[in-house]
Structure 1
Amino acid sequence: MTLVDEILEEAGFSKIAIEAVKSGKLHYGGSLDAASDKELSVKLAFHLKAELDGAKEIFLASPKKKEYDPTVESLGMIAEDGGDGTLDDFSGIILTNEKVMEKLYRSASSHAGSDLNLAKDEIAMFKKCTTHEEVEHCLRQILLDRFRAYRAHGLAGIKPYVRGSKEFSTAEELKKQIQAGGKPPTRSAVFNKYVVEYPNNPPAGVEESFFWVNSIIDSKPTIALVHRVGMPHDGGYVYMERHFYLSRSHNCLQGFGAALPVEDGAVVLYLTRTSTDQVGGLGSTAKRAIGNKLMGSRMADNFERARAVLAAAVAEKEMDKLKL
């Protein structure tokens, strides 16, 4: 049986942090070694004195992110049947703050990359829109196209974002995040290999889900396409959450989680990296330090709310309620 200390030391937690986790507290363990000058990162852990028989439901099933993340306005599952998805999967996406968002998308061609993440052909599509309804329909079509390309080709299917006269490769940024700071905390070499090579050569027992999330950031709707993939491992469960498209504010996000059995229960770990242009360039070190603290505090609050739901349901053995 794995020891709590061993798992947390491997993930870079201090002895003080380890003792806090072992006492039953959630611990914000600080940031990770940066993959680039655009990155913010957080590592979190907590110890549950209970078995996690339903870990798959916790990590993979229909998400309840809206219940513990106050920035989330709406979300929906994509291609629950495992197929190619349809426009109906995105029908719940509404661009509030209509005048601002309509102007932003319809004028995207003149300031590509300033506040939107779009490819060249996507900018051309929005340029043809004449109404807010057409903008929303165009966005839904682009999200469906991006989902299908990623589902078929993985990282290689992700279109780059226009950045003025240049392009930003989300795929390369996600690869850097996996490679930075050593291996993810999954303790599963086959899983770590698969998340790079996805969708090729899936290991036995691996499952996935997709959904979109509409969050309000800086008073503007911000859409994320999210891929979750997980599998049982060594008596526990390992998983990855990848935001392979974000409409604005950030470039991408990638987190690795593990619910691993220990001598008196389970340790739950989550390490996440977020790429954003807001902390790059001149003074990036100072901006990342401030950003890491702010993001870490917010994620710790959200994780604490999620942990409370998890701990209560584990105690009551109501694993069907654990759809985080």
Structure 2
Amino acid sequence: MLIDKPSFPIMLLSAAALFYQPACAQDAPSPQQALQNFGISAAQIPQLERGEIIGYDVSETSQKELAIGVAMIMPVGLPRLADYIKKGKLNAGESDIIATGMLGDNASVDSFKKFAFTEKHLDEAKAFLEAEPGDDFNLSKAELDSLKSLQAGLEDADNKTLLKTANQKYRELLLQRLQAYKKSGLAGIAPYSRDGGTADPAAELRNDAVNSKAWARYFPELQQAWLNYPATLPTNTSEQFLWLNRRVEDRPTAVLNHRVIAIGESGGIVVSRQFYVGHSYNSSQVVAGGLPYKDGTLVFYSIRSSTDQVAGMGSSLKHSIGREQMKKEMIKRLQRLNKDMKLKPAPVAADE
């Protein structure tokens, strides 16, 4: 059942940036066209122009997926917003981030040294070392087998040794996940073993990329590179890899994130995916963008998040609750962005 605080990838707002007109773009959309393409109705435009935050629907591709979008018009120029986001400030106020770091070309096990089970999470570390197929941990069959090979040597281990072993092993698995993804893209993402089956984050992320039709209409080369990564990225784009240790359901959660960023004078776009998540949800994708709009900037973003928690009996109600939780958190991020820009608090549209 859903938890009271969404375990979905709100952290991907670190990727929230702005719609861009790179060399790979087709005819750039007008703000009005973009609004229409993203399913924002004409009736919502006056609300946007009053500075209100509005929500819009995003199609969901399966019973496991939650998807929602939000948008607002900010009375600041695009360069100022772009500078704020490129400096990573959008993540700064998120209280559930325990640690985070960038992953360069020469990433190693030491790159994840700030991901650690502490004495406070000794039970979590022990559970990880004894993990079985299921949704307590998102681990592949090979990863579970490698944990089992450690267990015989830990029968008489003290707590300090158990913590050290769990941290070292988890960091090794994260590095292996990163290397496999960078080498083979979605095809390199191993499925998570479940009791009696698997969860397939690669298939989920592939569906998300295929169904990202609104922005793909204008950036077909970028969409194809995103779908077929590690295909060569279009000109004027850059990519980043990062890891996060987040508190989700009061548990430390390892996350591997890949994002592609393009920012120019006409706007910008960021597409971002979490291709590994330690528990609670399977995967996620964010598409975020913005366009100059009159004397300000139209900012919008959407999240697609896949989680086993909303499938099965009561799925419709779970989806409704989950979307509302996600939207509230997304609205908070836009309100904080507004505050950091030294603007008045952004109101929420009445139907939100």
State the number of aligned residues: 305
Alignment of 1:77-226 (within 5 A): 77-79=102-104, 83-96=105-118, 97-109=120-132, 112-127=133-148, 128=150, 130=154, 131-180=162-211, 182-184=213-215, 187-226=218-257
Distance of aligned partners of 1:70 and 1:15 in 2 relative to their CA distance in 1, 3 Å threshold: farther
- 1:71 equivalent in alignment to 2:92: no
- 1:30–1:43 Cα contact (<8 Å) kept: yes
Aligned to 2:298: 267
Q: Distance in 2 between matches of 1:205 and 1:186?
A: 18
- Deviations 1:282-319 (Å, cap 9, x if unpaired)? 2212210111111211221123213432x349xxxxxx
Which residue, 38, 41, 44 being the options, matches 2:70? 44
Aligned to 1:235: 266
Q: Report the CA distance between 1:20 and its aligned residue.
A: 2.0
- Deviations 1:237-287 (Å, cap 9, x if unpaired)? 111111110000000010101122233332111111000000011221221
Give the superposed CA RMSD: 2.3
- 1:185–1:257 Cα contact (<8 Å) kept: no
Distance of aligned partners of 1:178 and 1:59 in 2 relative to their CA distance in 1, 3 Å threshold: farther
Letter in 1 for 2:45: I
Q: Report the CA distance between 1:86 and its aligned residue.
A: 1.4
Q: Report the CA distance between 1:233 and its aligned residue.
A: 6.0
Alignment of 1:14-53 (within 5 A): 14-27=41-54, 29-53=55-79
Aligned to 1:316: none
SS at match of 1:194: helix
Which residue, 11, 36, 39 being the options, matches 1:12? 39
Q: Distance in 2 between matches of 1:188 and 1:59?
A: 21
Distance of aligned partners of 1:126 and 1:240 in 2 relative to their CA distance in 1, 3 Å threshold: same
SS at match of 2:239: strand
Q: Distance in 2 between matches of 1:199 and 1:246?
A: 20
Q: Distance in 2 between matches of 1:60 and 1:5?
A: 26
Q: Distance in 1 between matches of 2:292 and 2:29?
A: 7
- Deviations 1:1-40 (Å, cap 9, x if unpaired)? 854333222111233432222222332x144221110011
* The 10-residue stretch of structure 1 (118-127 or 243-252) with the greater mean CA deviation from structure 2: 118-127
Q: Distance in 2 between matches of 1:186 and 1:266?
A: 21
Q: Structure 2: give runs of 5+ residues left out of the alignment.
A: 1-27, 155-161, 344-352
Q: Distance in 2 between matches of 1:31 and 1:235?
A: 25
Letter in 2 for 1:98: H
SS at match of 1:305: helix
Q: Distance in 1 between matches of 2:57 and 2:50?
A: 22
Distance of aligned partners of 1:263 and 1:287 in 2 relative to their CA distance in 1, 3 Å threshold: same
- 2:126–2:166 Cα contact (<8 Å) kept: no
SS at match of 1:32: coil
